[in-house]
Amino acid sequence: MTALPLIVGFGGINAAGRSSDHQAFRRLIIDTLSASEEARTIDQIGALMGMGPQVSMNKAHAQQVLEDTLIRRIHAHWFNPDEVPMNRPGHTKEPITIWLGPLQAPNILPQGWTIGRKKDRLTEYIVEPGDILKPCTRQLSVKSAGMAPTGFRPDLFYPSRNHPRTLQLALFALSDCWLSSGLQWHQIKQHIAPNQIAVFAGSSIGQMDESGFGGMLKSALLGKRTTSKQLPLGYPQMSADFSNAYVLGSLGRSGATMGACASFLYNLHNAVDGIQEGRYKIAIVGGADCPITPEVIEGFRAMGALAEDQGLRELDGLGEDETPDYRKTSRPFGLNCGFTMAESSQYIILMDDQLAIELGAAIYGSVPTVASHADGGKRSISAPGAGNYLTLAQAVASIRDLLGQDALANETLVQAHGTSTPQNRVTESEVLSRVAKAFGLDSLSVTAIKSQIGHSQGTAGGDQLAASLGAFASQTAPGIGTVETLAPDVVQDGLDFVLKSRHQRITAALINAKGFGGNNATAAILSPEATATLLKSRHGAIPLEGSDEVQSRQARYRHKIDHGTIEILYNYGENIIEGSDLEISPETIDVPGFGENMTLNQAKTKYSDLIKS
């Protein structure tokens, strides 16, 4: 009997707000909400931004909440796109004089430098004519991004110790996931062995701000010292490391599989396979990417990947002095000119179905299938290939086999990768259409939420998954929104692109990712109701809302965060297990806090036919 991986918790933060309680999803479909639900959504985001409760009662404040979410002009809290620091190379014809303190003084006097006067702790250096770098600023041609709500400061709610922003968002996202699930980690540990848990989480780019790799790489050029934290905290797998060390205290499987834009789904694939094979009873899957820095944006711009102001003006027929509509820079499957960078962190908790029911967990859906494939041979590393046809077809077949042809045809929503590049709109629509027609589908629903929140790189699959859970809960497909008509080269056969948010029956979702370098993945996600129907023969009727205790803890957390009390789980230096705490025998290892022993008979079990009795 194969375990079905159930989604029993989810949380995170992106340009639409926090994922728990489907708050971020409701921001995406706010035009379809009732007046009371719209007010609740605005109040929740306002509390997250530090604006206090009941923001919706003030029209000006409510409008500010709406304007300070989703894709928008890059805010000064991140950086000023009109004045990005840089150095210009030049040449002097006369000697120049500079004064340096002891920390800035060169340890070997450069050629052409002579030492002059000394004053207090400063030393004069006379530099002969030659090449110089002159600090100045420049204006970026990309001025929009999908930023977390302006004013959201996770570093204020725990001792952040100069953590890179990616790790700050990761700790908030995992805390939001755990606390909103209503589950308690110490109780879960009583039902598992230490090797029956896994954490797969990472950043596809790494931590590229001042506190991570970014600061380390440019410190010498800026005349700064490299800190002891910039390199280790810049590693891409740090999201998993922090989850283990400071939130869970987990000794289980850990790591991050990198696959560019498909990274979240690659890690989801690891977790789903492990639960289905019986190696894990619980797995935490996460991602965190904060690439909104001048250097990363300029790198993608140089590739021709981003929507630049001039390209947007040309699309919209604007003059040189007119400002583009920064709300509509991302236009998946429409006439477009590049994607919009975004930041996000998303986490989910997966459990095998038996453990989830034993613990009385709330069930938000299930993940029966994740497929991932490379593209094979290429002429260019950035060119698409055949891999996405393989991943999508497997996920589509999974929904057909588990729920039936009717549910596949009429109740399935595709969360397309939908980056908003001219290449993607053609290649992904071709993949979706070919597979849809192969399975006899006439109008497979397709949407793309990057139109509103931007492209968070490796975490994008987490954004799509969280939005799918919101679609299940509301039975609403979020519209692409920024596109009024599809581009003429978009393949539409067998597809129904959702341009405006609409209510429809949704029992399954397909999460699609087409990553740079030939990384492709597609996940099949089933709704709570569809999951319960499948498991009825195995477990009988299942209470999807969870036990009374779980619901009570969920309600307490929801009340606190809705009123601006942000709790970040950060157990620095706590619950440390030393080697001396372990009880080791030839057959098992006992780890304090876990209810089950870790057995040491794996080889005997796996290779019993090879072992002579």
Strands 598-599 and 588-590: antiparallel
For residues 327-332, average pLDDT: 98
Residue 613 has a pLDDT of 67
Q: Is there a contact between 284 and 198 (Cβ–Cβ < 8 Å)?
A: yes
Q: Is there a contact between 367 and 523 (Cβ–Cβ < 8 Å)?
A: yes
Express each pLDDT in 219-268 by its tens digit.
Answer: 988 888 999 999 999 999 999 999 999 999 999 999 999 999 999 999 99
User: How does residue 384 score in pLDDT terms, banded at 50, 70 and 90?
Assistant: confident
| From-to residues of CATH 3.40.47.10 in the chain | 5-76+143-549
Cβ neighbours of residue 553 under 8 Å, at least 6 residues apart? 179, 182, 183, 184
Express each pLDDT in 92-138 by its tens digit.
Answer: 999 999 999 998 899 899 999 999 999 999 999 999 999 999 999 99
Residue 337 designated active-site: no
Residue 417 designated active-site: yes
Token pair 């409760």 in the structure block, residue: 53
Residue 304 has a pLDDT of 95
Rg over alpha carbons for the chain, rounded to the nearest Å, is 26
Residue 161 has a pLDDT of 86
Pairwise CA distance, residues 534 & 508, whole Å: 13
Select which of 177, 261, 290, 337 is catalytic: 261
Express each pLDDT in 495-506 by its tens digit.
Answer: 999 999 999 999
Residue 166 has a pLDDT of 98
User: How does residue 612 score in pLDDT terms, banded at 50, 70 and 90?
Assistant: confident
In one-letter notation, the amino acid at residue 554 is Q
Cβ neighbours of residue 238 under 8 Å, at least 6 residues apart? 164, 166, 167, 170, 202, 203, 207, 232
Q: Is there a contact between 510 and 414 (Cβ–Cβ < 8 Å)?
A: yes
Select which of 22, 163, 269, 455 is catalytic: 455
Q: Chain-wide mean pLDDT for the chain? A: 96
Q: Is there a contact between 7 and 284 (Cβ–Cβ < 8 Å)?
A: no
Fold of 5-76+143-549: Peroxisomal Thiolase; Chain A, domain 1 (3.40.47)
Residue 22 designated active-site: no
Pairwise CA distance, residues 128 & 171, whole Å: 51
Pairwise CA distance, residues 25 & 29, whole Å: 7
The helix/strand count (H/E) of the chain reads as 19, 24
- From the list 459, 379, 376, 377, the residue with the least C-alpha distance to 417 is 459
Express each pLDDT in 31-49 by its tens digit.
Answer: 999 999 999 999 999 999 9
Select which of 22, 269, 373, 417 is catalytic: 417
Handedness of CA 210, 464, 151, 53 (dihedral sign): negative
Q: Is there a contact between 362 and 181 (Cβ–Cβ < 8 Å)?
A: yes
